[in-house]
Amino acid sequence: MKKLLTILACSCLLLGTQCASNNSDTLVIIKTTHGDMIAVLYDETPLHKANFIKLAKEGFYNDLLFHRIIQGFMIQGGDPDSKNAAPGQQLGMGGPGYTVPAEFNTKFFHEKGALSAARLGDAQNPSKASSGSQFYIVQGTVIPQANADALRIDQFKMNAAFQTILRDPKNQPLIDTLNQIYMTGDMQAYQTKINSLVPRLEKMTGQKIHKEVSPEKLKAYTTIGGAPHLDGEYTVFGKVISGLDVLDKIAAVPTQQERPVDDVRMTVTVEELPRKKITELYGYQYPNQ
């Protein structure tokens, strides 16, 4: 199926879609009872873009639920089992019967409004392949300027290296200090102390924990917000360019075990427009436009 998806992505005719020219693009319209969200899909993630357009044109997403919602984090949908799900039924494992190979691109990150592919965890899915249909839209939170340095730290490497400190009895005084700061409830002071350990951890492990972060990413995470801990772990393949207020409304609905108490259904359609018209209507700037 992986080979089939690759072939389909290279041939829009086989997908039953009309290839967008350099002067046009395909908009995604996600209609809900809380309002509409408009998204673009990235050319740089062609497998995900072609697959999403194919499913939308087939009506695959119509009447499906946003079945998992965590305010301050994201809203998730696209599970076909959700169409006729009973109240309280657990969801999140359904799909079209295939996965899509990961398409990580450092230009795209989990800022508010990012359209990303859900997937199984690393233990079951070491290649980080995406679900064939399930997606999420990031709401996230704004990172305070005082904590912006944390964005320059690879948290996965940091956590792995920190375990080395915890296992060494010689570091008990440091562990006690961290526990004391944590117990005060001053999370900013606690995080500052943790971040100050980076040079020591890099020396101990021989791994580079600091990472380069673009000015655009720093600005986005400290102004509109997002979920930076997901970067490099899940494929970002599009962005909501209109309807972030709708995202906030959906994220705020009452939930029980992360599923909305009252169903939030979607209808997804696509529309091809000139890129200049998309910029004129929604302010989205294409690269090299």
| Any domain includes 288 | no
With cut-offs at 50, 70 and 90, classify the pLDDT of residue 197.
confident
pLDDT tens-place string over residues 71-110: 999 999 999 999 999 998 999 999 999 999 999 999 999 9
Q: Is the pLDDT of residue 1 over 60?
A: no
Give the pLDDT of residue 119: 98
Residue 47 and residue 174 in one domain: no
Mean confidence (pLDDT) of the chain: 88
Q: What is the pLDDT of residues 46-72, one digit of tens each?
A: 999 999 999 999 999 999 999 999 999
Does residue 148 fall inside a structural domain?
no
pLDDT per position as a tens digit, 171-196:
888 889 988 988 888 877 887 787 78
Contacts of 270 (CB under 8 A, 6+ apart): 26, 27, 28, 29, 53, 56, 57
Whole-number Å distance between alpha carbons of 283 and 263 = 31
Phi, psi of 170 (to 5 degrees): -65, -20
| Residue 194 shares a structural domain with residue 253 | no
What are the tens digits of pLDDT across the range 255-277? Answer: 999 999 999 999 999 999 999 99
Could you tell me the CATH number of the domain that includes residue 131? Answer: 2.40.100.10
Q: Which residue range forms the structural domain that includes residue 239?
A: 2-143+214-282
Q: Tokens 């380069």 correspond to what residue?
A: 212
Q: Is the pLDDT of residue 150 over 60?
A: yes
User: CA 123, 237, 39, 261: dihedral to nearest 10 degrees?
Assistant: 0
Q: Say whether both 130 and 160 belong to one domain.
A: no
User: Does residue 42 sit within a domain?
Assistant: yes
pLDDT band of residue 20 (cuts 50, 70, 90) is low
